[in-house]
Amino acid sequence: MLKYLKDIFQGIVTPFQGMKITTHYIFTPRVTKKYPEAYTPSLPISERNRLDVDMVKCTGCQLCSKSCPSHSIAIETVKAVPTDANVPVDENGKAKKLLVTKFDIDFGTCCFCTLCEENCNFGAIHRTATFDYSTYRRGELQYHFSNFTQAQVAEKKDLLAKFNAEAKKKAAEASENKE
């Protein structure tokens, strides 16, 4: 009979113990973080994350492109014309001599060896904390870092062609005057 009463008592008390635990977890703050917005992992020194290019520091020397073993970096430059008023400036405030009209990195073929970052003498290439490359299309893995639009590139190339034509014309006139 005593066992029967203990079982009844335990049958009444046990649901209340469960409700106590449930209410405790209802009113405590949540520990789960929303991924990826609030996820900040501690990254190791040799992490292989997305690269970023600071176009103000980039001089167009193409050392990063030449050192890339997978040929993932494509760079095109145009010589700056001295008479052009819209020449970007470098980090020291001086007008650039080479305009980087195309700076593309294809992360679909990049092996993340960081040779480009190590060989950049100007510190223009650096790794970021972004490590997620999820995409449905392979073409979205090609990142364009240049600040120039296609119209601006065409304008800079036309200015350079005109400047070179004028320089050749002046050189021809000078050689005729000497004779």
Q: Is the pTM of this model over 0.75?
A: no
The pLDDT assigned to 129 comes to 78
pLDDT digits (tens, 9 = 90+) for 66-83: 999 999 999 999 988 887
* Residue ranges of the chain with per-residue pLDDT less than 70: 36, 38-41, 179
CATH architecture of the domain covering 51-150: 2-Layer Sandwich (3.30)
Q: How far apart are CA 42 and CA 7, in angstroms?
A: 52
The contacts of residue 90 (CB under 8 Å, 6+ apart) are: 56, 57, 59, 96
Q: How far apart are CA 124 and CA 106, in angstroms?
A: 17
The pLDDT assigned to 179 comes to 64
Distances (CA, A) of 168 to 79, 161, 174: 16, 11, 10
The pLDDT assigned to 41 comes to 66
What is the CA angle 102-104-108, rounded to 5?
A: 160
The pLDDT assigned to 36 comes to 66
Residue type, 35: Y
pLDDT digits (tens, 9 = 90+) for 15-44: 999 899 999 888 888 777 777 676 666 777
